[in-house]
Structure 1
Amino acid sequence: MIPPYQSLVKYDNPVLISKTTDKKTTRGRAKRTGSSSGPSQSMAATLTSGAPVPTPPRGGKLPPMEKKAQQQTEDILNAILPPREFTEKGQLWVQQVSASPATRLDVINLQEQLDAKLQQRQARETGICPVRRELYSQVFDELIRHVTINCAERGLLLLRVRDEIRMTLAAYQTLYESSVAFGMRKALQAEAGKADLEAKVRDLEADKANLEAEVQKLKAKCEEIERRETERRQTEQRKHEEEIQVLKRTNQQLRTQLESILAPAKK
């Protein structure tokens, strides 16, 4: 049987639950798998026991205590990593996380699979990348599975760390989305205000053009007045000089006549 999707977390082989996916078979499956429906009670029992969960022997039947400890470990694993459910050809399948201990070779293979998945799915090496985050989250879940099989309390503590990290990332994501929405609102407001400012700038530019035209008219008028006044002054100055010249000639003539009249009298 092929699982619905490949994951870096190790799962057992899928188990057929029913051939239909109606609600009755789902409730029947929940009753048959009652051990996974109460994860909180199993985790509480494990924490209160205070004893490490032993690993099962390779061969032979398990003693009652070891079998009970293995069942507690499976319950904790099912609580940390819930079973996967998928349908294929109208059949409902359930795949639980593996409870087999991990070896050093498994860890090395996990690292190689992580590198291969990162390269295969073209995850970015830096920055925000959902693909890289998903793969590293699967690796962290697989490491939690390794630790939980050897020490349930340590696995539960790592579970708290994982949930805290996810909650922090969710808070940052919410903050980022709210900041983006705030930035978009401000951008829209600025865009709306930009249209008003552009209209105001156009009005001011039109007023400026009108004032500049009026200034040019006034300058031309001033130059015309100055030119006329200059011409008038020059004309009046020429008339004044001509009058002075006339008066000088008249004065000279009168002086000459006076001298001609006074000359015989002196003799």
Structure 2
Amino acid sequence: MNPPAESLLKYDHPVLIRESTDRKSPKGRPLKVGPQQVRGQSTSTDTTKQEILNAILPLREWTDGTELWMQQVSSAPSTRTDVIHLGELLDTKLHQRQPRQIGICPVSRELYSQCFDELIRQMTIRCAERGRLLSRVRDESRMTIATYQTLYESGVAFSMRKALQSELDKVDMQKKSTDLEDEKLELKKQINKVKSQCDASEKRETERRQTEEKNHVEQIQLLERTNLQLKVTFQGFIPQKYIFPLHLFL
């Protein structure tokens, strides 16, 4: 495991805790040392202050091969120059890492969290009660941000599901539209076919009716000619004096 990355929170120099895997506590956990062992000779006030800092800002531990290293938060007081330098360092880190300007950015959260922890460290050294109160504010803000992040992620997931569902619905609607268009074309073909059949049937019926009317007219004309011939023939057989006016037979 590599050493922790550089942080805006001020730490003491790393201290070697153990050099081999043999030195472990009965429960198998790495041995730890107290503030007196790390810092050497210190007063009870410094020890209490360091314990408060360790409770608010936990130690950092990492392994390098078989070596276990520990690094605790510095208890050295900070000056106005240190605060100004902290602000400049924060701006430099933000410029280097280029955090996102939209949404919840983990880079911005990490850098501002480190800066806030450093301010808590500086305030705890001057007044332990203020440090504890600021740590409560920090924890509450982290919980709030975590809640907003959960809402943001759930909102993004919900919008993605809705977008995916809308795409699927769009595909279904396109398929239904295509099917309806095909059905429409098929119905048009059937309509045209039926219309053609109706036109052909109507044409045949018209021709049949015309033929019947023509035949009827011809039959009437034939009957009229036959009737006229019969009249003429009948008049030829009857004497002149018995001939009645022709219009009486009509």
Residue 173 (1) aligns with residue 174 (2): no
Residue 231 of structure 2 is aligned to residue 230 of structure 1: no
> Is 1:86 matched up with 2:62?
yes
TM alignment of 1:9-48, pairs within 5 A: 9-22=9-22, 24=24, 29-30=31-32, 32-33=33-34
Structure 1 gap ranges (5+): 37-60
Q: Secondary structure at the match of 1:24?
A: coil
What is the match of residue 137 of structure 2? 161
**Displacement after TM superposition at 1:134 (Å):** 1.0
TM-score between both structures, scaled by the size of structure 2: 0.70
Q: 1:1-267, aligned counterparts within 5 Å?
A: 4-22=4-22, 24=24, 29-30=31-32, 32-33=33-34, 67-179=43-155, 211-242=187-218
User: 1:110-133 deviations in whole A, cap 9, x for unaligned?
Assistant: 111111111222222333321121
Number of residue pairs aligned between Structure 1 and Structure 2: 236
CA drift at 1:231: 1.8
TM-score (ref. length: structure 1)? 0.66
**Residue 41 of structure 1 corresponds to which residue in structure 2?**
none
Letter of the aligned partner of 1:217 in structure 2? K
2: CA distance, partners of 1:111 / 1:21: 41
Change (3 A) 1:28 1:125: closer
* 1:165/1:205 CA distance change after superposition, 3 Å: same
| Contact 1:144–1:159 under 8 Å retained in 2 | yes
Q: Say if 1:28 and 1:213 are closer, same or farther in 2 by CA, change over 3 A.
A: closer
CA distance 1:256–1:101, shift in 2 (3 Å): farther
Shift of 1:14: 1.3
Question: Structure 1: how far apart are the matches of 2:50 and 2:150?
Answer: 34
SS in 2 for 1:87: strand
2-structure distance, mates of 1:187, 1:22: 57
Q: Is the 8 A contact 1:35 1:75 kept in 2?
A: no
Quick check: 2:15–2:71 contact (8 Å CA) kept in 1? Answer: yes
Larger RCO (alpha carbons 8 Å, 6+ apart) = 1
Task: Please list every run of 5 or more consecutive structure 2 residues that lacks an aligned counterpart in the other structure.
Answer: 244-250
Please give the per-residue CA displacement for 1:127-154, whole angstroms capped at 9, x wherever unaligned. 3321121111111111111221222212
Q: Give me the whole-angstrom Cα distance separating, in 1, the residues matched to 2:100 and 2:14.
A: 32
